[in-house]
Amino acid sequence: MTAPFRLYNTMTRRVEDFAPADGKTVRLYTCGPTVYSRAHIGNFRTFLFEDLLRRALRLAGWQVEQVMNLTDVDDKIIARAHSAGAGTTIAAITAPATAQFFADRDYLGIEAAERYPRATEFIPQMIALVERLVARGLAYRADDGTVYFAIAKFPTYGRLSRLDMRSIRPGARVAQDDYSKESAQDFAIWKAAKPEDEAAGAAWDSPWGRGRPGWHLECSAMAMALLGETMDLHCGAIDLIFPHHEDEIAQSEGATGATFSRHWCHGEFLLTDGAKMAKRVGNVLTVLDLQQAGVSGAAFRHLIFTTHYRQVLNLTDDALAASSAAVAYIGEFAERLELPETVGATPALAAVAEEMATRVRDALMDDLDAPRALAAVFEFVRAGNAEMDRRGRDPAALARARSGVAFIRDALGVVPPPRPGGLVGLDGTAISEPRGQSGGIDGMDPALAAYVADRLRTRMQARGARDFAAADAIRDELLKRGIAIADSGAGTRWKVVTKVG
């Protein structure tokens, strides 16, 4: 019998069995970025936890309908437009930031969600939601035209965050000095327009006058418009539990009377030097910083998955270096399986591949236990290399090992792409692989490829003349250029192992 999928539920504070309501498709909402600047890698820890989750849900046999919102109207966006000068609209700020987000997502190997709604595309649905809340007596218009949600009218407010109502202070992005509010804890769901809102194109007509939606309202309206009044699963970082997700529940359930989300799940922070990453603190790193440091997307994924998503992870240079080495180890094994001279393997290799897949699946079904899944991967690579050294001739076992690597790629995304490289055959002929559409070596400067082939032919001649000192000097020369070589029965293989330049 297949073990159930188990996932921590923030609402109940325990790990529980999870399955979609219809038994087929998980309707998943994940809070996305506010697109006013480049997202930092602390944000991407959350997005990677959610990427692992959707992969695991599919591994459990379900389809996934994921909605990730893009907040494209917000106090910070309007402030950025205002500081950019007269005539700058919020669209001018959000368009490049959105493009950056998608580029960073792709670099980290995060699968695309099925829908990326922008808040500005759902203004009518947001106004309709406010109207329902006003009609039910759960929201009211203040003197300036701002509409507030009356927390006192929603008795179960605070159950997700488990806050005592008497201790609740005004939440994030809520004006605290408006004396027309009925209670200091009430939060704005529709904000009266200010001159800077109008100037930035961030104001719309409504029954309460010109204005714009509150941050919390945006997610409620988009989630229900795309996933229905009750979704299966809602995720985000732990700092969204209060007030954002608490307010989403109040607005949504206050309007519909139905459960907003059947299950809630939140990921912990990524810290730098023990502090939460924040732009105002100045300790922010971006995906661009990772790229410039030569840290691959697979390596950063590995780093994130070495720690359970519900535990704090502290980022260090040593940890990044260790993860880069770890995925290189996986990549070398994957490349070894694809070598032309590798035509078979021992039957035991198939067995270790099967065991790995079972262990990874069991780990991910158990509250996304990525560290345990990674341990199974590295045991497979270690045992797989040992079996490859035995030089078996079973092609079916080799095929199963290759399928095992594909499984790791699909389940965890920690297999790096093949490194550019080639082979100089025993006859001195340069054979390059893999080849791109242009016939050259993917990702490789053709001039460098020609240089490597020429130096290896010279090395081959030196070895033939038993001038091993000259051969070793060429090996060292190539290594300084970021090229590693290995001699085999087919000739000398070479791979790019560091940035060349």
DSSP string, 10-74: TTTTEEEE---TTSSEEEEEE---BTTSPPBHHHHHHHHHHHHHHHHHHHTT-EEEEEE-BB-SS
Asked if 27 and 270 count as a contact pair (C-beta separation under 8 A), the reply is no
Phi and psi (nearest 5°) for 150?
-90, 100
Whether pLDDT at 67 is above 80 = yes
Q: How far is CA 363 from CA 60, 170, 269, in A?
A: 12, 40, 22
What pLDDT does residue 276 have?
Answer: 73
| Domain CATH for 238 | 3.40.50.620
Across 22-36, 179-193, 379-393, 406-420, least confident range: 179-193
Domain-terminating residue out of 411, 433, 467? 411
Helices 41-59 and 297-305: crossing angle, nearest 10°? Answer: 80
pLDDT tens string 196-239 = 999 999 999 999 999 999 999 999 999 999 999 999 999 999 99
Nearest-angstrom CA–CA distance, 238 and 162: 13
Whether the bond into 434 is cis, omega within 30 of 0: yes
* Averaged pLDDT, 108-121: 98
Across 14-23, 136-145, 419-428, least confident range: 419-428
Domain presence at residue 302 = no
* Same domain (yes/no): 335, 432: no
Distinct helix (H) and strand (E) counts, the chain = 15, 17
Q: Which residue range is the domain that position 474 belongs to? A: 421-496
What pLDDT does residue 369 have?
Answer: 98
* Same domain (yes/no): 52, 87: yes
Domain presence at residue 178 = yes
Asked if 11 and 246 count as a contact pair (C-beta separation under 8 A), the reply is no
Residue percentage of the chain with pLDDT more than 90: 74
Nearest-angstrom CA–CA distance, 432 and 484: 15
Confidence grade of residue 406 (pLDDT, cut at 50, 70, 90): very high
Whether pLDDT at 140 is above 70 = yes
What pLDDT does residue 169 have?
Answer: 52
Cβ neighbourhood burial of 201 (10 Å; 0-12, 13-18, 19+): middle
DSSP state of 241: I
CB atoms within 10 A of CB 427: 8
* Same domain (yes/no): 354, 438: no
pLDDT tens string 306-334 = 999 999 999 999 999 999 999 999 999 99
What pLDDT does residue 31 have?
Answer: 97
Whether pLDDT at 452 is above 60 = yes
| Number of domains observed in the structure of the chain | 3
What pLDDT does residue 188 have?
Answer: 97
Q: How far is CA 231 from CA 22, 28, 55, in A?
A: 11, 7, 18
Rounded to a whole number of angstroms, the CA Rg of the chain reads: 27
Whether pLDDT at 391 is above 80 = yes
The encoded tokens of residue 394 equal 């079973």
Domain presence at residue 204 = yes
* Averaged pLDDT, 452-481: 90
Whether the bond into 170 is cis, omega within 30 of 0: no
Domain presence at residue 221 = yes
Q: How many residues does the chain have?
A: 501
What pLDDT does residue 495 have?
Answer: 82
Domain-terminating residue out of 226, 249, 276? 276
What pLDDT does residue 430 have?
Answer: 72
Confidence grade of residue 164 (pLDDT, cut at 50, 70, 90): low
* Averaged pLDDT, 383-412: 94
* Same domain (yes/no): 118, 241: yes
Confidence grade of residue 392 (pLDDT, cut at 50, 70, 90): confident
Domain presence at residue 306 = no
* Same domain (yes/no): 400, 433: no
* Same domain (yes/no): 23, 142: yes
DSSP β-bridge partners for residue 235: 30, 265
Whether pLDDT at 501 is above 50 = no
Q: Which of helix, strand or coil describes residue 270? A: strand
* Same domain (yes/no): 269, 198: yes
Domain presence at residue 501 = no
Nearest-angstrom CA–CA distance, 234 and 109: 22
Domain-terminating residue out of 276, 308, 341? 276
CB atoms within 10 A of CB 320: 18
The encoded tokens of residue 419 equal 């490194």
Identity of residue 186:
D
* Same domain (yes/no): 16, 159: yes
Alpha-helical (H) ranges within 276-421 are 287-292, 297-305, 317-337, 347-365, 370-389, 395-411
Confidence grade of residue 281 (pLDDT, cut at 50, 70, 90): low
Domain presence at residue 303 = no
DSSP β-bridge partners for residue 211: 192, 204
What pLDDT does residue 167 have?
Answer: 57
* Same domain (yes/no): 25, 100: yes
What pLDDT does residue 435 have?
Answer: 44
Asked if 229 and 173 count as a contact pair (C-beta separation under 8 A), the reply is no
Residue percentage of the chain with pLDDT more than 70: 90
Residue 422: enclosing H or E segment and its boundaries? strand 421-425
Predicted TM-score (pTM) of the model is 0.88
Query: How big is the CA angle at 261 (ends 186 and 16), to the nearest 5 degrees?
Result: 125
* Same domain (yes/no): 106, 252: yes
What pLDDT does residue 179 have?
Answer: 41
Domain presence at residue 286 = no
Whether pLDDT at 433 is above 70 = no
Whether pLDDT at 364 is above 50 = yes
Whether pLDDT at 168 is above 90 = no
* Same domain (yes/no): 198, 125: yes
- Lateral strand order in the sheet of 275-276: 275-276, 270-272, 313-315
* Same domain (yes/no): 261, 378: no
HSE on the CB side for 5, CA within 13 Å?
Answer: 20
Residue 480: enclosing H or E segment and its boundaries? helix 468-480
Phi and psi (nearest 5°) for 145?
100, -5
What pLDDT does residue 499 have?
Answer: 53
